[in-house]
Structure 1
Amino acid sequence: MDDSLPLESPSLSRRQFLNFLTGATVAATAGSALYATGKFFIPPAETTGGAILAKDILGNPIPATQITAEAPGTRALVAGLAGEPTYLIVKDDNTVDTVGIVDNCTHLGCTFPWNPTDQQFQCPCHGSLYAPDGSVVRGPAPLPLKIVHVAVVNNSILISPWTETDPRTREKPWWV
């Protein structure tokens, strides 16, 4: 009798291993591409009334305490509706104002900074100037800046579309 152990063939041949490795690579690549495509086509999570959470440049929700920690009168830039850059205003009582101003020039759609020294928004492209409430001080911008509703609920900042009468012009908003 032979007491030696029989040599069994390995459970995976080289061909089977390479086929498995190729299949896993294809599946991982396709899965990540499908995930990214799905995230692109699925709209952001909404709350009641079409409001969305204010987010930072990386897409992370911004807590209200982060904005209210700034000095009164500060304009904080966040990603608002449809990812549009939106200025939130810190009021004198260290709360967030209920009106946000969208950072898109009504002349050619440029983004622009808030100038705290002059207390106005200044578009560097063609020289349009806007008052602190977003109304036009000097053209060529033909219309006031778009505004949005801002609400703070449980330390979350919710931004929703402004569809009522524009308080600056007393007319129907041009963006509706």
Structure 2
Amino acid sequence: MDSNIPLESPSLSRRQLINFFTGATIAVPAGYALYVAGKFLIPPPEKTGPGGAIPAKDVLGNLIPASQILAESPGTRALVAGLAGEPTYLIVKEDNTLDSIGIVDNCTHLGCTFPWNPIDQQFQCPCHGSRYAPDGSVVRGPAPLPLKIVQVAVIDNSILISPWTETDPRTGEKPWWA
């Protein structure tokens, strides 16, 4: 048996060393660029409250204080960005509080957004003529279903909007969107 240990140890050749440094020189900036692109493209998680509630925001993403909407006259329907940025109507009641039900501004026919018509007291979709009652139930088609609703709560001058998971008060059935 030969117990001699060779004195020469394997080492990197010059070519392997240059390839290593070239790869590292490319990998570090590329990794950093991918990290920055990922932070830009992936939105930060939204802070939610109990039951998945999020604060109401304006079109620019700024929080809307409850006092701003409650300063409007009773019967006003204020449009805010609600769950997943969906436009949502909040209703000021006669006692200057917000209704606990918000109405999502998406027509159930083809998903159009529409205005509240205060003269006719209806939501009217201008695209195909669907009309909805003040509570979001269908008055005239072609919309097949009532409008989606959300829960609205006011806590410390903040408006919190959360998904509606209970029985739909308009139909007495399980919500079609849940």
TM-score normalised per structure 1 = 0.80
Aligned to 1:79: 81
- Determine helix, strand or coil for the equivalent of 2:63: coil
In the TM superposition, what are the counterparts of 1:1-176 in structure 2 within 5 Å? 33-38=37-42, 40=43, 42-176=44-178
One-letter amino acid matched to 2:56: A
Q: What is the RMSD of the two structures over their aligned residues, measured on CA atoms? A: 1.8
What stretches of structure 1 move > 4 A for 4+ residues in a row? 28-32
Query: Partners in 1 of 2:46 and 2:114 — Cα distance?
Result: 25
Aligned to 2:19: none
Query: Partners in 2 of 1:125 and 1:29 — Cα distance?
Result: 44
Query: Partners in 1 of 2:40 and 2:135 — Cα distance?
Result: 38
Q: Which of the pair has more CA radius of gyration?
A: 2
Q: How many pairs were matched up?
A: 149
Listed as ranges, the gaps of 5+ residues in structure 2 are: 1-29
Listed as ranges, the gaps of 5+ residues in structure 1 are: 1-25
In the TM superposition, residue 45 of structure 1 has moved relative to its aligned partner by 1.0
Aligned identity (percent) is 76
Change (3 A) 1:67 1:29: farther
Query: Partners in 1 of 2:55 and 2:36 — Cα distance?
Result: 26
TM-score normalised per structure 2 = 0.79
